[in-house]
Amino acid sequence: MVPRRWVVERTFAWLGRCRRLSKDYEYLRVCSENAICLSMAVLLVHRLARPAR
């Protein structure tokens, strides 16, 4: 079982690789939340599209 803290830190690291999220470009909180959701969706689509090992 993976400790919860490590899972959260790993997720933040994945989000930190997104250029738009690495700086605070957004003025509104809603825009920032949407950027996070979009980044996670892109990450998941890339993982699903990757060939099986």
H or E element in which residue 1 lies: none
CB atoms within 10 A of CB 6: 9
Residue reference for tokens 């949407």 = 34
Assess whether pLDDT exceeds 70 at residue 2.
no
**Arithmetic mean of pLDDT, 44-48:** 90
- The residue that leads in pLDDT, 38 or 26, is 38
pLDDT at 50: 85
**Arithmetic mean of pLDDT, 9-16:** 85
- Give CA–CA dist 18/34, Å, rounded: 13
Tokens of residue 44, six digits: 């998941």
Q: What pTM did the predictor assign?
A: 0.70
Tokens of residue 43, six digits: 């990450």
Domain that holds residue 36: 4-49
Assess whether pLDDT exceeds 90 at residue 45.
yes
How many structural domains is the chain composed of? Answer: 1
Sign, CA dihedral 44-14-21-46, equals negative
**Arithmetic mean of pLDDT, 34-48:** 90
